[in-house]
Amino acid sequence: MSEVTRLADQLRRSCFGEAWHGPSLQDILDGMTAEHALPRVAPQTHNIWELVLHVTCWNELAASALNGTPLPDGPDSLSWPPIEDTSNAAWQKVLERMGGAVVALKEAAERLDDSQLEETTPGRTYNLYHLLSGVTQHNLYHAGQMALIKKALFP
């Protein structure tokens, strides 16, 4: 199995299951409503909805980078888009967008060959291997936060 295939599989597992560590993003978010995604465990912390938007944003940015678009430099707010609609329909669209972003990144990664993993990520000083493994780690880091928020608010 190629390294690209392994990285793409780990990315998929971070969102859609069969992760070694435990529940994937999809497992944690399964059955969650907009009402569940909005509360904060403490002031000035992110809620689950914001975390999903953030994860989605980085998967989309990484897919764009694999297609040659430089990752943006700028304020942290670029990767923390605001919640514009708090309806259940909007929440379902956010979840679909997250899943689509992970699939798009996985598919973009699968179009690479292993030799390309050493290429520099557009707009950064690190290589594409670092980007792909980093996005997977980022997904799981925030999945852990979501799981803790869910457990704290809805025991």
pLDDT in tens, the chain (155 residues): 899 999 999 999 999 988 888 899 999 999 999 999 999 999 999 999 999 999 999 999 999 999 999 999 876 767 899 999 999 999 999 999 999 999 999 999 999 999 999 999 999 999 999 999 999 999 999 999 999 999 999 98
N-term to C-term CA, the chain: 41
Angle at which helix 3-16 crosses helix 88-110, to 10 degrees, equals 170
What's the pTM value of the predicted model, to 2 decimals?
0.95
DSSP 3-state of 91? helix
- For 14, the token pair is 């971070």
DSSP 3-state of 127? strand
Helix, strand, coil distribution of the chain in percent, nearest 5 = 65, 0, 35
Annotation: CATH topology of 3-153: Four Helix Bundle (Hemerythrin (Met), subunit A) (1.20.120)
